Amino acid sequence: MARRSALIQFGAFSRMPAADVPADRVRRRALQGTAALVVPALLVFLVVYAAPLGSLVVDSFHKDGSFTLANHLESITSPAFGTIVLRTLTLSAIVTVLCLLIGYPLAYILASLRGAVAAGLLLLVSVPYVTSILIRSYAWVVVLSGNGIINKALLWLGVTDEPLRLVFNEAGTYIGMVQVQLPLMVFPLYAAMHRIDGSLVAAARNLGSSPFSAFWHVYLPLSGSGIAGGCTLVFLSCLGFYVTPALLGGPGQYLVAQGIAVRVTTLADFSSAAAQATLLLAVVLVIFIACRRRIASELGGGAAPEAHSHDGAGSGLRRWPNAVERIALACAPVLRACGDTISYGGRLVLWIFAVAALVYLVLPLLVVIPLAFSDAAYLTFPPPAYSLRWFKAFLSNTQWLEATWFSVRMAGVGAVTSLLLGVPVAFALVRRRLVGKLSIYLLLISPLVVPHVVIAVALYFTLARLQLVGTELGFVIAYTLLGMPYVLVVFIAGLRRFDQTLEMAAASLGARPITVLGTVTFPLLVPSLISALLFAFIAGFDDVVLGLFLSGPTATPLPIRMWDNIRLEISPQIAVVAVLLFVALAASYCAYLLLSSRMFLRLIFRSQSVDG
């Protein structure tokens, strides 16, 4: 208890205390309030995540009962490990930049739309996630290979004389990875841009600002929190990524997460895997510490003393992590072009760009759909004949249906749990004064960086002790951990650009805190809520690695069934799953349209009756 209270300082923003309440009571109440926001999530993380991971790390320092650095030195001194880490960092950085360059204009267009169209296009952005990683990679091969769709088109158009090498090399790696990571960039950007008041840019223009200058000094800084959020998500999740590069990259492709996965799954050598994961985490930590001032101000400025930063108070631009800022400056000509395009009414160009980006996101699914209707016993494109045999096979297989239902339920409950635990933390980090903000933030987003195989091993031993392996609760816990980083990053981005004066206005007009929350705060944060929920859901729904450890006879998620199925033979069955998931997404979109239009009708109806 003593430690906790030492950890938590007083809220900088306490909710409109009544004048007659003694100061220390206010302080105590604020303290308790902050504690209540942060402690549940921290407790969960300490018990099922930090402690087990810590003991795994401690284990990596032991060999035959005595302390040793052998595991770590083995990696550090190996020239291979350094090279592989460097390659991983470079790849992650390049993918992040590419995602930003493609994602920014796309999010800009999406944010300028409203209602059903925007929701529909956002749905398309999330399409990469409905296709399991293996079928998606297969689809990319179909599209990109020497005799693939793109090369056939280029040859036919006479653009090239011989097929271009677009896959099984660097190009394939980037095409595949950027597609998967792009939604992680677009959603936070969209959430930030959605709230930008367009009249601010117009005002700048009216006051004589050049189009570029208006964009550069007004719009770009206002979208800064989205850029920071998106870049953080993409960069970190790239570090723990290896399946797509392994499937689409060349024979020299090898990333650090791959090495760690091999050590866990094939060698069953947990100590050296933990050692490498520790080193990877240390590298990330160094990056974070280098950018700590930026992160701290991103989190709300009230962090650890050395992190106090007021130099960037006026400009969101200065709040970005250093690296991002440099990249942004390097990209200034491109951004300038964007700015000019916007101003000259050249929205058409932007639109073409956005549509191209959407096609890029959806392309693999366009290949997957015909595959699902294939009549062939194995994957071949184009299918020799069409039939519903694989749909029938799927729908008549109780194992697959049970697994699907299990995955939907567990990922759903997991996502809601991480939302319930994570949103209060995001509030506390952004709005309250708290010692150790950076540590809390790092702890909660680290599941994004720590390779999942390592989390799986650590979590497994804890859950086994609690007899939770192979149970629903075990999966909920696992999926909550996986969803937390997404909730936190997306929500912090959402809160950063939040105009608190709106809440204050409501409060000063007599609204009680709960009313402010319900009528002002919550509705403004809906886009962030939805994208946080979506990401957290997908994080659980898509997981294979933790499932391999935690599944049991009555608790088998869908990805494990698919994994089981494709190790020996890749059948069109997994294409069916992708198509069904897409249909489910589209159906929920229609339901959303229907619901919102009814609400719309009711609204009209009510206002009419008021008028009457």
Partner 1 sequence: MKNRIDRRAFLVTTGAMGGMAAARSLFPAPALAKDLKGSGQVAVYDGGGSWGAAKKAAYFEPFEKETGIKVIIVPRTDTGAVRASILAGAPRYDISILSGSSTETFAREGLLLPIDYGWFEKADLDAFDPVKPGQFHVPHIIYSLVLAYDSAKFASAGPNTWADIWDVKKFPGPRSLPTGTWGGDGGTYECALMADGVEPSKLYPLDWNRAFKSLERIRPNILKWWTSGAEGPQLIVDRQIVAGSAWNGRISAANEQGAKIGFSWNQGILQYDNWVVPKGAKNVENAMKFAAFASRPENQARFVEHILYAPPNAKAYDLIKRERAKLLPTSPEVRGLQFVQNYEFWNALGAGGVPNNKIAVAEWEKWLAGAR
Instruction: List CB contacts of 261: < 8 A, sequence separation 6 or more.
Output: 242, 451, 453, 545
Neighbours of 563 (CB within 10 A): 18
- Residue 253 CA to chain centroid, in angstroms? 24
Q: Does 452 bind partner 1 (CB under 8 A)?
A: no
| Backbone φ and ψ of 147, nearest 5° | -105, 25
Q: Does 568 bind partner 1 (CB under 8 A)?
A: yes
CB of 56 to partner 1, least distance (A): 11
Q: By CB under 8 A, which span of 291-299, 305-313, 559-567, 575-583 interacts with partner 1?
A: 559-567
Identify which of residues 80 and 159 has a Cβ nearer to partner 1 in the complex: 80
Identify which of residues 340 and 564 has a Cβ nearer to partner 1 in the complex: 564
Q: By CB under 8 A, which span of 15-23, 309-317, 377-385, 601-609 interacts with partner 1?
A: 377-385
Identify which of residues 440 and 545 has a Cβ nearer to partner 1 in the complex: 545
Task: Name which position in 52, 361, 556, 582 contacts partner 1 (CB under 8 A).
Answer: 556
Vertex 113, ends 122 and 97: CA angle to 5°?
A: 55
Secondary element (H or E) of residue 66: strand 66-67
Q: Does 320 bind partner 1 (CB under 8 A)?
A: no
DSSP 498: -
Cα(first)–Cα(last) distance of the chain, in Å?
Answer: 60
CB of 95 to partner 1, least distance (A): 20
Task: Name which position in 219, 270, 498, 541 contacts partner 1 (CB under 8 A).
Answer: 270
Q: What is the four-CA torsion angle of 127, 131, 133, 138, rounded to 10 degrees?
A: -110
Q: Which of residues 61-80 bind partner 1 (CB under 8 A)?
A: 78-80
Q: Which of residues 381-410 bind partner 1 (CB under 8 A)?
A: 381
Contact (CB, 8 A) for 541 and 126: no
Tokens representing residue 569 in the block: 């033979």
Q: Does 367 bind partner 1 (CB under 8 A)?
A: no
- Residue 182 CA to chain centroid, in angstroms? 9
Tokens representing residue 93 in the block: 């950085």
φ/ψ bin of 168: left (φ > 0), alpha (ψ from -120 to 50), beta (otherwise): left
Q: Does 150 bind partner 1 (CB under 8 A)?
A: no
Q: By CB under 8 A, which span of 230-238, 268-276, 279-287, 522-530 interacts with partner 1?
A: 268-276
Task: Name which position in 197, 269, 375, 499 contacts partner 1 (CB under 8 A).
Answer: 269
CA distance 65 to 58: 11
Task: Name which position in 1, 3, 18, 147 contacts partner 1 (CB under 8 A).
Answer: 147
Q: By CB under 8 A, which span of 185-193, 303-311, 375-383, 481-489 interacts with partner 1?
A: 375-383
Instruction: List CB contacts of 387: < 8 A, sequence separation 6 or more.
Output: 373, 374, 375
Neighbours of 498 (CB within 10 A): 19
Task: Name which position in 268, 348, 385, 610 contacts partner 1 (CB under 8 A).
Answer: 268
CB of 37 to partner 1, least distance (A): 34
CB of 415 to partner 1, least distance (A): 24
CB of 159 to partner 1, least distance (A): 22
CB of 47 to partner 1, least distance (A): 17
3 state SS of 555: strand
Written as one string, the DSSP assignment of 586-605 is HHHHHHHHHHHHHHHHHHHH
CB of 162 to partner 1, least distance (A): 15
Task: Name which position in 9, 265, 343, 471 contacts partner 1 (CB under 8 A).
Answer: 265
Identify which of residues 245 and 422 has a Cβ nearer to partner 1 in the complex: 245
Q: By CB under 8 A, which span of 81-89, 93-101, 156-164, 596-604 interacts with partner 1?
A: 81-89
Q: Which CB contacts under 8 angstroms, 24+ apart, belong to 141-147? A: 141/167, 141/248, 142/367, 142/381, 143/363, 143/364, 143/367, 144/171, 144/172, 144/175, 144/248
| Backbone φ and ψ of 60, nearest 5° | -70, -15
CB of 379 to partner 1, least distance (A): 7
Q: Which of residues 242-261 bind partner 1 (CB under 8 A)?
A: 246-247, 249-252, 254, 258-259
Q: By CB under 8 A, which span of 154-162, 263-271, 359-367, 483-491 interacts with partner 1?
A: 263-271
Neighbours of 436 (CB within 10 A): 16
Single-letter code of the amino acid located at 533 = L
Neighbours of 43 (CB within 10 A): 11
CB of 464 to partner 1, least distance (A): 4
Identify which of residues 553 and 612 has a Cβ nearer to partner 1 in the complex: 553
Q: By CB under 8 A, which span of 333-341, 435-443, 478-486, 566-574 interacts with partner 1?
A: 566-574
Contact (CB, 8 A) for 415 and 536: yes
Vertex 513, ends 510 and 517: CA angle to 5°?
A: 115
3 state SS of 63: strand
Identify which of residues 87 and 217 has a Cβ nearer to partner 1 in the complex: 87
Identify which of residues 231 and 275 has a Cβ nearer to partner 1 in the complex: 275
| Backbone φ and ψ of 63, nearest 5° | -145, 125
Task: Name which position in 379, 438, 455, 575 contacts partner 1 (CB under 8 A).
Answer: 379
Vertex 14, ends 12 and 17: CA angle to 5°?
A: 140
CB of 147 to partner 1, least distance (A): 6
| Backbone φ and ψ of 159, nearest 5° | -70, -40
- Residue 331 CA to chain centroid, in angstroms? 24
Q: Does 264 bind partner 1 (CB under 8 A)?
A: yes
Residues in contact with partner 1, counted by CB under 8 A, come to a total of 63
Q: Which of residues 495-554 bind partner 1 (CB under 8 A)?
A: 548-549, 551-553
Task: Name which position in 28, 308, 465, 512 contacts partner 1 (CB under 8 A).
Answer: 465
- Nearest by Cα to 426 from 519, 304, 324, 532: 532
Q: Does 149 bind partner 1 (CB under 8 A)?
A: no
Q: Which of residues 407-446 bind partner 1 (CB under 8 A)?
A: none
Binding site for partner 1 (CB under 8 A): 78-81, 83-84, 87, 138, 141-142, 145-147, 168, 246-247, 249-252, 254, 258-259, 262-270, 376-381, 453, 456-457, 460-461, 464-465, 467, 469, 548-549, 551-553, 556, 560-561, 563-570
